[in-house]
Amino acid sequence: MLRLLKSITCSTLLIISFSIKISAQENIKKEIIGIWKPVRPYDIGAVIPDEAKQLIGQAREILSKTTFYFNADQKFTLESNNSDLSLKNGHWKLDPFSGEVIIQEWKDRKEDKPVFMSIRLLKKDAKLIFVIEEFFLAFEMSKIEQN
């Protein structure tokens, strides 16, 4: 009897945990839809290797002038002055395990790889921070329009 009770309790906790995770992901999906621009770089305390500092500085300069378009149909566009950091026909999705927003080419949307960019979302004092770990960068963001 005790074993059955433990099994039921564990199953119930798993269902509740799964439901909370799905609910949180749905909230993130609703919140991220729109057009976003960086307001300012945000210090996440990343330790940048010396050999990467110049490249990271260039990426910071370029990404600080980009516009991120997250559409409800999961299409994504990244407008940038730099063609290497632009994406016109992209796709976004939430990684169910990490909670990160995965950006890919539209043609790769049904695959896990390759990834153009991943963005971890942080909420800090009612501000939304995009953390782009590939570049050791983070930006406080402003939603300029709902898509």
Between 127 and 76, whose confidence is greater?
76
> Would 15 be classed as within a structural domain?
no
Given this model, what pLDDT does residue 26 score? 61
Task: Count the domains in the chain.
Answer: 1
For 92-146, how does the pLDDT look when each residue is reduced to its tens digit (9 = 90+)?
Answer: 999 888 889 999 999 998 988 889 999 999 888 888 999 998 888 999 999 997 7
Contact, 105 vs 89, CB < 8 A?
Answer: yes
How far, in Å, CA of 104 to CA of 118, rounded? 9
Given this model, what pLDDT does residue 134 score? 83
> Would 90 be classed as within a structural domain?
yes
Given this model, what pLDDT does residue 10 score? 36
Q: Can you read off the two tokens belonging to residue 32? A: 């991220």
User: Quick check: 1 pLDDT over 60?
Assistant: no
Given this model, what pLDDT does residue 20 score? 36
Average pLDDT, integer, range 47-62 = 87
Q: Which domain holds residue 119?
A: 33-145
User: Containing H/E element for 101?
Assistant: strand 101-105
How far, in Å, CA of 90 to CA of 75, rounded? 6
Contact, 111 vs 136, CB < 8 A?
Answer: no
> Would 66 be classed as within a structural domain?
yes
In DSSP terms, 142 is beta-bridged to 37
For 4-28, how does the pLDDT look when each residue is reduced to its tens digit (9 = 90+)?
Answer: 333 443 333 333 333 333 345 567 7
In DSSP terms, 122 is beta-bridged to 129
Q: Report the CATH number at residue 65.
A: 2.40.128
Given this model, what pLDDT does residue 22 score? 39
> Would 103 be classed as within a structural domain?
yes
Contact, 78 vs 66, CB < 8 A?
Answer: yes
Average pLDDT, integer, range 19-43 = 74
Contact, 32 vs 121, CB < 8 A?
Answer: yes
> Would 19 be classed as within a structural domain?
no
